[in-house]
Amino acid sequence: MDKADNKIVGSTRFYRIDTVTNTLELGYTWYGKKYRGTGINKNCKYLLLEFAFDVLNAERVGFRANHLNKRSINAMKRIGCVEEGVLRNRSINGKGKRMDVIVLSIIKQEWVESVKQTLFNLSTTNC
C-alpha cells in the first residue's frame, strides 16, 4: 500500500504449499509501473522468504516465469534464485500460443549460507 496516495502498489503470494515435502512456490507477482525498480519487490521477497524458511521451515521455495518475461527472470536471479530448467509448452498465453515456463528456486541451504544476507542487504538499500 502506498501511504502517500492510499493505493495498492502490487501483490505477491505463496501457492502450491506442500506440507509433506516442506516446499512451496512464490509468485503471481505484479507491481504497478510506478513502483517497479523501487526496491519494493526485494523487500516483499525478503519478508516472504524469511517467513518461508525461518518460520515455516521450508526446504525449497520455487518460482516460475514465462520464458519471454526477462524482467521477471532477471529479478528472480538477482535475489538469489537458481534456474532449474524449462517446462516446454507448459502454458498458453492470451492469444492461445503455447509458451515455455522457466523454473527457478532457492533451497534452504542457499538461504542460510548466502541468500538471506544478500537479499537483506539489497532490501535495505534504495534500489
Question: Measured at the alpha carbon of residue 24, what is the angle toward residues 117 and 63, in degrees to the nearest 5?
Answer: 70
- Look at residue 1 and tell me if it is in a domain: no
Quick one: what percent of the chain has pLDDT higher than 90?
Answer: 76
Alpha-carbon dihedral 34, 48, 64, 21, rounded to 10 degrees:
-170
Q: What is the pLDDT of residue 126?
A: 53
Number of domains in the chain: 1
What predicted TM-score, i.e. pTM, was given to this entire model?
0.88
- Look at residue 2 and tell me if it is in a domain: no
- Look at residue 59 and tell me if it is in a domain: yes
- Look at residue 4 and tell me if it is in a domain: no
- Look at residue 79 and tell me if it is in a domain: yes
Residue type, 16: R
Residue 54's nearest CA partner among 120, 123, 125 is 120
Domain of residue 32, residue span: 10-123
60 with 23: CB under 8 angstroms? yes
- Look at residue 5 and tell me if it is in a domain: no
Average pLDDT estimate for 88-97: 95
Residue 63's nearest CA partner among 47, 38, 82 is 82
CATH number, domain of 41, equals 3.40.630.30
Residue-wise pLDDT for 22-50, tens only, equals 999 999 999 999 988 888 888 999 999 99
